[in-house]
Structure 1
Amino acid sequence: MSTHQHGHGHGHHHGHGVPAADLDWDALAAHLEREADLRGAAVTEAAHWLAGLHEGEVRRALDVGSGPGVIAAMIAEVFPAAEVVAVDQSAALLERAEARSGGRLSVQRVDLPAEFAELGEEEADLIWSGNAVHHLGDQQAALTALARVLRPGGLLAVAESGLPPRYLPRDFGLGRPGFQARLDAVQEDGFAAMRAELPGAVEEVEDWAAMLERAGLTPSGTRTFLVEHRAPLARPVREYLHTQLDRRREQLAEHLAPEDRSTLDALLAEDAPTGILSRPDAFYLSAMTVHTARKA
C-alpha cells in the first residue's frame, strides 16, 4: 500500500497484481518518493491542521501504508516530539524509509488486513493513512481496526477521494479535446474492477465521515488541500507524469479509443516537443481530501 494516486486519489498496491519478486522496487520507490514530494506542501499543511485538531500531546504517530516513508518524515517534522512509525507490507520500501530518515522513523512490517491486530500492541495518538484503505477489500473493517489502535482522545486521519489530477489544457493540440476526462472514465472502471477483485471485497457507499462514525469514532472535520505545480513544470514533476502516463498505457491501453492511444503515445515520446517531458503548457493540479475522527 502506498500514497500512490489513481484517479480520485486512488492508488495501486505496490504493483497490484505483480508478484513481489518481479517488481523493480528501486524504480517503484523512486516513483513513490517523487509522488510524495509532489504533494509535500499539501501534506505539511494537512499535518499542521491535524496538530491543531489533536487535543493533547502526540507521543506516537503511525503512517499506515507508508511506502518509502516520505510522508511519515513530513509528519515527523510537524510532530518533533513523537515517535513516528512507517507501517507497510513491503520490507524493501521500509528499508528505504529507514535509510532516508537517518533513523528518525521507526518501521513496522505488517500484512494488512491479516495483521491489523499487530498494530495495536502499542496504542497511537495519531494515525495517518493516505490512499491505503481502498486497497483493502472491507474498508469499513479496516477503519474499525485502525480505530482500535488509537488511544482515547487519539485522531485518525484518512486521505481518500479528493480530485483526480489535471496536467494539460482541455485542448492541447493532440487528438480530440477532453482526453484527460476520457482517461479518467476508463481509470474509474479499472479502479472498480481492482476493488471487486480484492480478497473479501465489500461494496461500500464511500461516505467517509459515516464510516468513521461506524468505526466507533467521532468525526472531527474534513478538509481538502490543493496540490499545485504551475507551468512550465520542473523536470522531476515531468518525469513523474511521464511514469504515470506510461503506467496508464500499460494498464488501460486496450480500453482506450485508437485516437486516445495515439495521443497517449505522443505524450510519451521522449524527444518530441509534443511529449510531456518537453511541453511548455504542462502543469500539475490535484486535491487531497483528509477525513478525520477522534476516539472518545
Structure 2
Amino acid sequence: MTHDDHGHGDHGHPSHDDHGHTSHAGHGSHSSHHTHDNDDFDWAAMADLLELEGETHSPYVRQALAELAQPTPRRILDIGSGPGVAACRLAAVFPDAEVTAVDGAPELLARAEQRAERLGVRLRTQVAEFPAGLADLGPADLVWSGQAVHHVGDQQGVLNQLAGLLEPGGVLAVVEGGLPPRWLPRDLGFGRCGLQERLDVAMAERFGRMRAELPGSVAVVEDWPGMLRAAGLTDARSRTFLIDHPAPLAEGPRRFVRGSLERCRQVLADLLDTEDLSTLDRLLDPSDPASVDHRTDLFLLTAKTVHFGTAPGA
C-alpha cells in the first residue's frame, strides 16, 4: 500500500503497510486480507495515510538512489507506486528521465498526478495490475518496487518478471524487510511494559497468515540478494537505511504514528489481550493527556532495506 512506502510502512514482517501501499498494485494482490472493490471503500483516507507514510519515510529513498552505480536512467518505473511519494522523489532526483508511477488503483494514481503537479516534477502514470500487467510495462533502466513483492504468492516468480523489464545494465531496486518501527518508551506509564514487542509478534502472525492465504503461495527462503541472483541479476546486494524522527514528533510523523496505531487496533483485535487493547484505546483517545496526540516522548525509529540487482549485458 505502501502502499512508498503502499507503504505502504513495512518492517521486517510487513505490518502497517497492509493499510495500503502496494495493495493497489493489483486490488488485493497487495493485501488479500481485505478487498478494495467495494464501492464504499475510503480511498481518500487510505491515500492520506499512504502519503503520510511516504513523506515520513522519504529520506531513505534519496539515500537508496545514491547507491546506484549506473549512468543516469532514461526510463524509470515505480511499480506499486500508491499515491506517488517515491515516484515524485525519483522524478526530482532524475529530472531528465521519463518516470512512470504504476499502480492498480486509478484513485491513487490521480493522487500521484496531483502531487507531481504540486511539486513541479514530470511524472507519467499507468494503471496496471500487479503482477498480471507487468508484461506491458518494459523496458526500463531502473525499476523501483516498494513493498509490493511480498503481496504476491510466488515472490521469486514476480522478481523474475520485474528483472525481465530491465534494459541491459538496468537496475532493479526492491524494498523489503528492514526493522519494525518503534514509537514509544518501553514503559508507557500505564498498561503492561513491552507493548511494541507484542504488536510485532501479532503482526508477524498476521503477516504469515496473509502469505499462506495468497493465491499460488510458494514458500521461499527470503534471501533477497539470492532471489535477485536467481532472477538472473548480477551485483545483488542489500543496504539498510535508518529513519530517525526523535521526540517530540512533528505533526506529520505524529499523524502517521496515530494512523499506524489505529491500523494495529483494527487488524490485531483478535490477536491481542484485553489489557493491550485497552492500552491502545487510551493511546488513541485524543482527550487523554497520555495519548499519542499529546505525548512529548513519542518518536519514530525504523529502518528500510533495499535490495539491488543489475541486469547483465551493459
Offset at residue 171 of structure 1 (A): 1.2
CA distance in 2, matches of 1:170, 1:73: 36
4, 8, 33: which one pairs with 1:4? 8
Aligned counterpart, 1:219? 235
Q: CA deviation at 1:9?
A: 6.1
Measured in 2, the distance between the counterparts of 1:237 and 1:70 equals 15
Equivalent of 1:202 in 191, 206, 218: 218
Tell me, yes or no, if structure 1 residue 244 matches structure 2 residue 260: yes
Q: Is the 8 A contact 2:10 2:177 kept in 1?
A: no
How far does residue 99 in structure 1 lie from its aligned partner after superposition? 1.9
Partner deviation per Cα, 1:176-211 (whole Å, 9 max, x = no partner): 111100010000000011111111111111000010
Are 1:136 and 1:198, in contact at CA under 8 Å, matched by a contact in 2? yes
Amino acid at match of 1:8: G
1:186 corresponding residue in structure 2: 202
Runs (4+) off by over 3 Å: none
Helix, strand or coil for the counterpart of 1:293?
strand
- Among candidates 103, 107, 110, match of residue 128 of structure 2: 110
The separation in 2 between residues aligned to 1:221 and 1:195, in whole angstroms, is 24
Aligned to 2:82: 67
- Cα distance, 1:22 vs structure 2: 2.9
Offset of residue 233 of structure 1:
0.6
1:19 to 17, 25, 36: 36
Residues 77 and 9 (structure 1 numbering): CA distance in 2 closer, same or farther, change over 3 Å? Answer: farther
Pairwise CA distance, 1:149:
0.4
> Which segment is superposed worse, 218-227 or 267-276?
218-227
Question: Contact 1:7–1:187 (CA<8 Å) still a contact in 2?
Answer: no
1:268 is the counterpart of 2:280: no
Shift of 1:236: 1.7
Are the counterparts in 2 of residues 7 and 188 from structure 1 also a CA contact under 8 Å? no
Per-residue CA deviation, residues 128-172 of structure 1 (Å, 9 max, x unaligned), is 111110011111011000001000000000110000100011112
Partner of 2:273: 257
**Residues 218 and 294 of structure 1 are in contact (CA less than 8 Å); yes or no, is this contact kept in structure 2?**
yes
Q: Secondary structure at the match of 1:253?
A: coil
Distance 1:74 1:158, change over 3 A: same
Of the three residues 58, 74, 80, the one matched with 2:73 is 58
Change beyond 3 A, Cα 1:82–1:229: same
Aligned amino acid, residue 166 of structure 1: R
Structure 1 stretches of 5 or more lacking a match?
none
Q: Shift in Å at residue 67 of structure 1?
A: 0.3
User: Which residue does 1:85 correspond to in 2?
Assistant: 100
Q: SS at the partner of 1:225?
A: strand
SS state at 1:114 partner: coil
User: Aligned partners of 2:254, 2:282: CA distance in 1, in Å?
Assistant: 15
1:224 Cα offset (Å): 0.6
In the TM superposition, what is the alpha-carbon distance from 1:240 to its structure 2 partner? Answer: 1.2
Cα–Cα, structure 1 residues 223 and 166, in superposed 2: closer, same or farther, change >3 Å?
same
Answer whether contact 2:72 2:94 (CA < 8 A) is retained. Answer: no
Question: Which amino acid in 2 is paired with 1:75?
Answer: L
Residue identity opposite 2:225 in structure 1: A
Report the counterpart of residue 145 of structure 1 in structure 2: 161
> How many Å separate the matches in 2 of 1:95 and 1:280?
36
Assess if the C-alpha contact under 8 Å between 2:245 and 2:299 holds in 1: yes
Give the distance between the partners of 1:192 and 1:100, measured in 2 at CA: 34
Higher relative helix content: 1
Q: Render the CA deviation track for 1:47-80: whole Å, top value 9, x for unaligned.
A: 1222xx22x2310011111001011011111111
1:128 to 144, 160, 165: 144
Task: Return 174-183 or 5-14, whichever deviates more.
Answer: 5-14
Specify the alignment match of 2:308 in structure 1.
292
Deviations 1:3-42 (A, max 9, x none): 2124426132358313332321111111100100001112
Task: State the match for 2:46 in structure 1.
Answer: 28
Residue identity in the other structure for 1:96: R
